[in-house]
């Protein structure tokens, strides 16, 4: 499937990304890109490699080969300091929020400002309140993360992720574990962030409804390979049986390799690792 044309400005480009987890091959030469100001949804079933891909996009893992260019910079060619500077232009909202439990919501949100700017505390507090307004959590800055609901934690995590006004926002399973109403309001928030702040947003999710609602384009991963990159309409109309199975939530009829199955049962991993 064709990726973004070269004329379109890209904030993120991945080329032939290969990665292993121990002896297991996880990503098998993934290439994709994210355009400026678009919401790119990465989808796939469990074990498809979508979370691993996201960790590589966030520069949290060492890859085996391939290149990742973030905001035009090849991350392999950056010094630690340059990488840190680049990271200030990105934001991440983790699946579980990853708020620091020893800090209040307000302190969590202000932390990047406290660490990376010389702003006075009053200005930082005002900025934190502004971001809390954006995510509809105004007035909650004095609470501890343990006092928030699951949906509120995710919103607070988004507020922290956007406090430095990043150019690229990464979100890992924003709808996971939330009821439909809260999930829908988070989707609306993601759309607002793109429209109001012109952010490029990369969302990893397995929630089809959410993906179809927010995505400008969708990348579908399966077993460490890209099956599809394109718009929601192109995805719905795609003839591939594997993609239609994914959309219709049908389990694939995987053929079991008897040698591999036996080796897994007996604990001998040599057969399995050679093929993965």
Partner 1 sequence: MASIGNFVERVGRATVAAVEEVGNGGVLVVQSLYWVFVGAQQRQPVRIASVFVQMMEIGIKAVPIIAMLAATIGMMLAIQSIYTLRIFGAESRVTIGIALSVTREFAPLITGILVAGRSGSALAARIGTMKINQEIDALHVMGINPVRFLVVPALLASVVMVPSLTIFSDFMGLLAAGLYINLELGISLAAYVSELQAVLHVDDVMHGLGKSMIFSVLIAVIGVVNGASVTGGAEGVGKVTTRAVVLSISAIIVTDMIFAFVATR
Residues at the site binding partner 1, with contacts judged by CB under 8 A: 58-60, 81, 83-85, 87-88, 90-92, 94-96, 98-101, 111-112, 115-116, 170
Decide: 202 and 57 in contact? Cβ < 8 Å.
yes
With a CB cutoff of 8 Å and minimum separation 6, the contacts of 87 are 59
Measured CA to CA, the distance from residue 243 to residue 261 in angstroms comes to 26
Cβ of residue 51: shortest distance to partner 1, in angstroms?
Answer: 11
Decide: 223 and 49 in contact? Cβ < 8 Å.
yes
Of 103 and 191, CB closest to partner 1 = 103
Cβ of residue 48: shortest distance to partner 1, in angstroms?
Answer: 20
Of 112 and 151, CB closest to partner 1 = 112
Q: Give φ, ψ of 22 to 5 degrees.
A: 65, -130
Q: Look-up: residue for tokens 């574990």? A: 177
Cβ of residue 94: shortest distance to partner 1, in angstroms?
Answer: 5
Cβ of residue 63: shortest distance to partner 1, in angstroms?
Answer: 16
With a CB cutoff of 8 Å and minimum separation 6, the contacts of 205 are 41, 42, 43, 173, 174, 175, 176, 211
Of 170 and 228, CB closest to partner 1 = 170
Of 160 and 206, CB closest to partner 1 = 160
């Amino acid at each position: 499937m064709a990726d973004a044309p070269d004329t379109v400005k890209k904030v993120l480009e991945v080329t032939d990304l290969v990665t292993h987890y121990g002896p297991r091959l996880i990503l098998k030469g993934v290439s994709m890109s994210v355009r400026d100001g678009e919401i790119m949804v990465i989808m796939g079933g469990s074990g498809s490699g979508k979370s691993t891909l996201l960790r590589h996009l966030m520069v949290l893992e060492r890859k085996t080969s391939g290149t990742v260019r973030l905001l035009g910079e090849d991350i392999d060619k950056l010094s630690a300091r340059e990488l840190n500077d680049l990271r200030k232009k990105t934001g991440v909202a983790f699946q579980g929020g990853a708020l620091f439990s020893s800090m209040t919501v307000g302190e969590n949100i202000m932390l990047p400002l406290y660490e990376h700017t010389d702003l006075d505390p009053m200005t930082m507090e005002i900025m934190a309140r502004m971001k809390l307004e954006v995510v509809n959590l105004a007035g909650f800055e004095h609470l501890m993360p343990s006092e928030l609901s699951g949906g509120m934690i995710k919103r607070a995590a988004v507020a922290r992720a956007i406090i430095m006004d990043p150019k690229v926002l990464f979100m890992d399973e924003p709808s996971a574990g939330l009821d439909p109403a809260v999930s829908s309001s988070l989707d609306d928030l993601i759309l607002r962030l793109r429209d109001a702040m012109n952010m490029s947003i990369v969302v990893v999710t397995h929630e089809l409804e959410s993906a179809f609602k927010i995505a400008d384009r969708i990348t579908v991963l399966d077993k460490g390979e890209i099956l599809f990159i394109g718009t929601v309409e192109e995805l719905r109309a795609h003839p591939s049986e594997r993609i239609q199975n994914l959309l219709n939530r049908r389990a694939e009829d995987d053929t079991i390799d008897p040698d591999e199955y036996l080796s897994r049962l007996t604990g001998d991993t040599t057969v399995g690792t050679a093929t993965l």
